[in-house]
Amino acid sequence: MKIIEASQKYRIEMEKVLKKDRFDHTLGVAYTAANMAFVFDEDIEKAVIAGMLHDCAKCIPHSEQIKICKKYGVELTDIEMRNQKLIHAKAGMCLARHKYDIDDPYILDAIRYHTTGRPDMTKLDKIIFTADFIEPNRKMLKDMDVIRKEALSDLDRAVYHILKNSLDYLGSQDDEMDPMTIKTYEYYAKIVNTDN
């Protein structure tokens, strides 16, 4: 598929199922991921598709997201059942596979892990995880200007920086933290510190 065909196909699909702000966020993620693909020699079409679809389940009620995961045999953890806004990543992977016909596991994994990350992420995982955080429509969180530069020059450092700030932020909130986020942070802290 030409990249403009992928851009159009999933843009049109996402505008049908996402609320307005979420749709513009999605465009921001898809094109930020494409720009990161320029820098880090990733497949641009895969970056656009994963970016366009990463939140495809976000505007569906949590109860429906749970049903989608059950239907396709994707298990949910106790923490996901207690903090249900985490579920959209797994439900999104299911919809990407079965509603939007994406059969590339590399794209599906990037959607599945875009919220928590995972240790030893693929390049596309890291791009979508990072693009989701930095895209231009996001409000200016702590260190955003620095992280945005890192995202286009040093991908592991950007991933580490986002995880560090997210853990600091989540530590001050009531939401329960997903242990995968902590594992991912520990993995990238080691990589970034080894690099120094």
**Where does this chain bind its own copies (CB under 8 A)?**
2-4, 7-8, 11, 20-21, 24-25, 27-28, 30-32, 34-35, 37-39, 44, 48, 134-137, 139, 145, 148-149, 151-153
What phi, psi does 104 have (nearest 5°)?
Answer: -85, 110
> Looking at beta carbons only, is 4 or 120 nearer to its own copies?
4
Residue 151 beta carbon to its own copies: minimum distance, rounded to whole angstroms: 7
Among residues 137, 139, 162, which one has the least CA distance to residue 149? 162
CB of 152 or CB of 180, closer to its own copies: 152
Cα separation, 92 vs 112, whole angstroms: 7
Half-sphere exposure of 56 (CA within 13 A, CB side): 30
Closest CA to 31 of 12, 45, 19: 45
- 92: tokens are 């999104």
Residue closer to its own copies, measured from CB, 71 or 149: 149
Q: Which is nearer to its own copies, 3 or 167 (CB)?
A: 3
- Tell me whether residue 9 or residue 183 sits nearer to its own copies (CB atom): 9
* Closest separation in Å from C-beta 109 to its own copies: 21
Residue 91 buriedness (CB in 10 A; 0-12 / 13-18 / 19+): buried
Pick 90 or 123: Cβ nearer its own copies: 123
Nearest distance in Å: CB 158, its own copies: 11
The residue to which tokens 């690099």 are assigned: 195
Q: Taking the complex as a whole, how short is the minimal distance between the CB of residue 87 and its own copies, in angstroms?
A: 24
The backbone torsions φ and ψ at residue 114, rounded to the nearest 5 degrees and listed phi first, read -70, -20
- What CA–CA distance (Å, rounded) separates 57 from 54? 8
Q: What angle do helix axes 88-98 and 62-71 make, rounded to 10 degrees?
A: 50
Q: Shortest distance, CB of residue 31 to its own copies, whole angstroms? A: 3
Q: CB of residue 134 vs its own copies: minimum separation in angstroms? A: 7
